Structure 1
Amino acid sequence: MLAALQQALVKAANCRIRLPVILQGDEKSLLTQAQHLLMALQPAHSWWLGEHTPAQCQNIGQYKAHQLLGIECDCLIINAFSGFDADKIAASAGALTAGGLWLLLAPESLQWQQLANSAHHRLRSYPTPTDYPGYFIAFWLGQLQQANVLRGNATTLFNDLTWPEAEANSTTLDVTMPYKTSEQATAVSAILNVVSGHRRRPLLLLADRGCGKSAALGIAAAHLALSGKKHILITAPAKAQAAVALAHFAQLTEHEASTSLALRFVAVDELLASQPEAELLLIDEAAAIPTPLLQQLLDHYSRIVFASTEHGYEGTGRGFQLRFQPYLTKRCPNWRLLRLTQPIRYQAQDPLEQLIRLGFLLKQTDETAVTLTAESLELKHYHASDWLTEPKKLQQVFGLLSFAHYQTQVKDLAALLDNPALSVYTLEQDKQLLACALISQEGEIDDALSQAIYQGQRRIQGHLLAQNLAFHLASPALATVKLARIMRIAVQPHLQRQQLGSQLLTRLEKPLQQQGYHYVGSSFAASADLVRFWQKAGFAAIRLGMQLDKASAEPSLVMLKALSAENVSKVQQLKLKFASRLYQELPDYPSNIASDLLLQLIQPTQHAMTPLTLTNLQLFSADQRPFELVITELLQWFNQYAVILSKLQQQVFIAKLWQKQSWAVVCQRFSLTGKACAIKLMQQAIIQHIDSA
């Protein structure tokens, strides 16, 4: 077998593919065979995932999945006897170069399906037993039946690979350093044109993983720095996702000290808050940044490049295009789209890439758009075990969740199959998926544990809603009842704004009631539009997070709805208590929370205007009474008439009177020239609307 594998690896290198091999049997024999393989092959950069790491290999178990992106190895061995971490396996596969070996060591299929997957234990909700096997391995083995891989045991290979044709023309011919493909050189040229060409003509750079998109950003930045540009910014959902671009920039400018600081990484939230000067803004993995934040960046920066992975581990597929491109066209009709399709590390028909996409449902499907008719819609409920007989439906559900949510990852697929507390409700018509909701079963925590959570002594996995109620809202009794948390809700993009999301929320209430749930809730990055959607469905806001989410730059909001009449009053109490506390404690929250969101959440006490109050306001508006002597009157008036003011007027009043921010901060946030300008705006609001009072 060693000789056969060596021959296959030579052929793989000639075809510019990676070789996927799966060996099943007993652990001791397979580990011994892996050791022989390593000694025979002598790979330069070997990775190992799992226990019993040989001396020749680097164990990657301690790395997070995103830390494995953008780096390379030529041998990757996975010891699945000590766990099968779907997230890390999907991410690490992209690091393997052409001619490399991807080797999976695993138990026999029947035994493997019956074993608990220790690598996925953190995905399960308390109190799932440690010996719970889950369904991910069974699902993955089912997908594997369609894969083009070498299979065998410790001594024998059972089949040969269906070898792809060698590429007719190398993508690297006639390409000079630092480029790896002609497409990458074209991409760099297009990025440079964003700087030298007309303003407001952004570039959208899309690619599958491994096509050199991020490297192109770094190469282009180096060209600009060497030509004298000094203010180039790059951002991404996390700095690790800009590491490839930064590394290429550093490599090309290492001998030019004056250019080494021309490219600077700035986190998205800081970028929006401080809006630093930029001759060019580069955004890597833009699909993983919420559309509202991309819109704000597009509005402020006139020269900008959006780069994103379309498919694969890092990608969110067509969802990014469907959400963001319409706004891009509206604001910048002359924007340009460029796609990179030439893989750098391996060829297009690489069997390992096909295995990863198939096994982890990363392959986007271009299905015919569903047409909504007058036929009745069907509500269906899927549990983890159902996905084994409904793999196509799971593909549809996972694809839709990826479209709708910017942080959907492979571990979310694993959780669907391995966490018994998760289930999915779908709205379907003629077996076609229209909308879906991902539900987590929570609560039913015993009194002692709920008290420990309330006292800050314990935290348990998978009970976000219950822990919010017990700890943050000082209501441990609510953690002892059965709770449903809606983790995600999604509607087919072409069917949005047809009330399907609202229908789904309404329809799933009855089965939840029948299953004994007392409350249903959700937690999400809050925006005014989302809050309106949930409020329309009868949910009440009960807690706002004190920190902004790094990915969305928005605070998290918890909303709750009672599923029985006797619990409605309790939710109303929580709602009123939250609105009152938020009003009083708002200065302690992040200063840049959107004003339209605060107007939806805060319900300040209103008092009738007295003649003296109105007189003082009129004097203020006539510039005959200073702001400092009418703060109370202004607050009383604004609390009653905020909804009829313009957006800018609302923003200034909230920042000054509710958030108690300094004049300098208020003016900086809303681009006002100074305190006098801000006061003038308040005075105009009084003049315009004093008759209402």
Structure 2
Amino acid sequence: LRQWLDATAARSWRARVGDTTVGILWGVIEGGLSPELAEQITLGQRRLRGHLLSQSLASHSGFPEAASQQCLRVTRIAVADHARRLGVGRRLVAKARQAATKEDLDTVGTSFGGSEELLQFWRACDLAPVRLGLNQEATSGEYPLQMLNGCSAAGQHLVERLQQRLAEHWPTLLPLAWPALNLRLAAALSAELPATSCLSDDDRRDLHSFAHGHRGFLLSLPVLRKTCAVQGVPLWLQTQDELLLWVAAVQQQKSWPTLQGQGLCLGQRDGEDRLRALVRQLLQNGPEL
């Protein structure tokens, strides 16, 4: 409480029904560091107390602008039980964004233990995912997910670049850095990232050979992974019954015994057959490839 009320960088908003408080948002202004200090943080040569989100995006995502720009990081949101699911939290975030814009801040952001439900909430508040931490939090067991919304033109440009960079790194890091990531959260995050791939005629021929022929899964894996980053495909996949099998087998590249143990398939032959059927549906009824 003392940290909250005494901090000059703290900002707070209260939602009321009459005289009754039903929600509180606590935020803190981070960043605004000199370009020289921001560059040192990006290089891993300096680390400051505070500035959790700004510093993380500079040092881990590699963008010194994240530390030199000013960000309102939402630290906590609390809504009374009887007032939940009524949009109170979203309205608090909207008011915080309006105030951040008037105060000439560049971004509004947050960092939390990633879950599908929280991702949906923050997306409803117009924040975009820009980074997923590499280490699971000790308290929640989840990977920290960081999301951002641009208030200024510079802030909007930073959000776009952070999202594009995450999308480019996503296919490589997902199987290596986030093996325990919840499959539905992985699918939801994939659908939130900008497209980075376009298929060639050769790619489409390989997809057809996998779907309608006997081309092996391993030989088809490179083009299947590439297909994950084509415009509209991740969103289409979220509507399919084999979504979790696709994420685990294609994107996380888990072994067939592991997939069988997780109840996603009866074995390699069953798994491949179901993925072939899914690709047939994609070619026939999915977005244009």
- Interval of TM-score (by shorter of Structure 1 and Structure 2): 0.7 to 0.9
Question: Which of 18, 22, 26 is 1:438 aligned to?
Answer: 26
1:692 corresponds to which residue?
285
Return the alpha-carbon distance in structure 1 between the equivalents of residues 24 and 253 of structure 2: 42
Report deviation, 1:473.
2.3
Partner secondary structure for residue 426 of structure 1: strand
Report deviation, 1:549.
1.6
1:661 corresponds to which residue?
254
Alignment map for 1:25-424 (pairs within 5 Å): 413-424=1-12
Return the alpha-carbon distance in structure 1 between the equivalents of residues 130 and 282 of structure 2: 32
TM-score, structure 1 normalization? 0.38
Report deviation, 1:636.
4.5
Return the alpha-carbon distance in structure 2 between the equivalents of residues 420 and 466 of structure 1: 17
Partner secondary structure for residue 122 of structure 2: helix
Going from structure 1 to structure 2, the CA distance change for 1:614 and 1:449 (only over 3 Å counts) comes to: closer
Report deviation, 1:622.
5.1
Supply the AA of the counterpart residue of 1:605. Answer: T
Report deviation, 1:589.
1.4
Residues 506-562 of structure 1: CA distance to partner in whole angstroms, max 9, x if unpaired?
A: 122222233332221110111122222222322121111011223222110111112
Report deviation, 1:566.
4.4
Return the alpha-carbon distance in structure 2 between the equivalents of residues 658 and 552 of structure 1: 24
Return the alpha-carbon distance in structure 2 between the equivalents of residues 470 and 609 of structure 1: 35
1:625 corresponds to which residue?
215
Report deviation, 1:597.
2.1
Supply the AA of the counterpart residue of 2:129. Answer: A
Residue 531 of structure 1 pairs with residue 119 of structure 2? yes
Return the alpha-carbon distance in structure 1 between the equivalents of residues 111 and 224 of structure 2: 34
2:235 corresponds to which residue?
643
Report deviation, 1:494.
1.7
Report deviation, 1:609.
6.9
2:161 corresponds to which residue?
573
Supply the AA of the counterpart residue of 1:538. Answer: D
Partner secondary structure for residue 265 of structure 2: coil
Return the alpha-carbon distance in structure 1 between the equivalents of residues 120 and 217 of structure 2: 34
- Confirm or deny: 8 A CA contact 1:642 1:650 kept in the other structure: no
- Confirm or deny: 8 A CA contact 1:609 1:637 kept in the other structure: no
1:607 corresponds to which residue?
198
2:144 corresponds to which residue?
556
Going from structure 1 to structure 2, the CA distance change for 1:569 and 1:423 (only over 3 Å counts) comes to: closer
Partner secondary structure for residue 557 of structure 1: strand
Return the alpha-carbon distance in structure 1 between the equivalents of residues 62 and 247 of structure 2: 28
- Confirm or deny: 8 A CA contact 1:447 1:480 kept in the other structure: yes
Going from structure 1 to structure 2, the CA distance change for 1:652 and 1:418 (only over 3 Å counts) comes to: same
- Confirm or deny: 8 A CA contact 2:55 2:66 kept in the other structure: no
How many corresponding residue pairs? 280
1:462 corresponds to which residue?
50
Return the alpha-carbon distance in structure 1 between the equivalents of residues 137 and 267 of structure 2: 30
Return the alpha-carbon distance in structure 1 between the equivalents of residues 66 and 205 of structure 2: 49
Partner secondary structure for residue 673 of structure 1: coil
2:186 corresponds to which residue?
598
Going from structure 1 to structure 2, the CA distance change for 1:584 and 1:456 (only over 3 Å counts) comes to: same
- Confirm or deny: 8 A CA contact 1:437 1:489 kept in the other structure: yes
Kindly indicate whether structure 1 or structure 2 has the higher relative contact order, using CA contacts under 8 Å at least 6 residues apart.
2
Partner secondary structure for residue 547 of structure 1: coil
Supply the AA of the counterpart residue of 2:44. Answer: G
Supply the AA of the counterpart residue of 2:198. Answer: H
- Confirm or deny: 8 A CA contact 1:441 1:484 kept in the other structure: yes
Going from structure 1 to structure 2, the CA distance change for 1:536 and 1:609 (only over 3 Å counts) comes to: farther
Supply the AA of the counterpart residue of 1:498. Answer: L
Supply the AA of the counterpart residue of 2:217. Answer: F
1:582 corresponds to which residue?
170
Residues 630-649 of structure 1: CA distance to partner in whole angstroms, max 9, x if unpaired?
A: 22343345555343345652
Q: Which runs of 5+ in 2 are unaligned?
A: none
Residues 571-624 of structure 1: CA distance to partner in whole angstroms, max 9, x if unpaired?
A: 2111111121122322221212123322333344343574x6556545534563
Alignment map for 1:514-525 (pairs within 5 Å): 514-525=102-113
Partner secondary structure for residue 59 of structure 2: helix
Return the alpha-carbon distance in structure 2 between the equivalents of residues 455 and 555 of structure 1: 23
Partner secondary structure for residue 101 of structure 2: helix
Question: Which of 439, 453, 478 is 2:41 aligned to?
Answer: 453
Alignment map for 1:471-490 (pairs within 5 Å): 471-490=59-78
Alignment map for 1:483-498 (pairs within 5 Å): 483-498=71-86
Return the alpha-carbon distance in structure 1 between the equivalents of residues 227 and 45 of structure 2: 44
Report deviation, 1:682.
0.9
- Confirm or deny: 8 A CA contact 1:619 1:625 kept in the other structure: yes
- Confirm or deny: 8 A CA contact 1:424 1:437 kept in the other structure: yes
Return the alpha-carbon distance in structure 1 between the equivalents of residues 12 and 63 of structure 2: 28
Partner secondary structure for residue 274 of structure 2: helix
Residues 322-343 of structure 1: CA distance to partner in whole angstroms, max 9, x if unpaired?
A: xxxxxxxxxxxxxxxxxxxxxx
2:96 corresponds to which residue?
508
Supply the AA of the counterpart residue of 1:491. Answer: V
Q: Which runs of 5+ in 1 are unaligned?
A: 1-412
Q: Which structure has the bigger radius of gyration?
A: 1
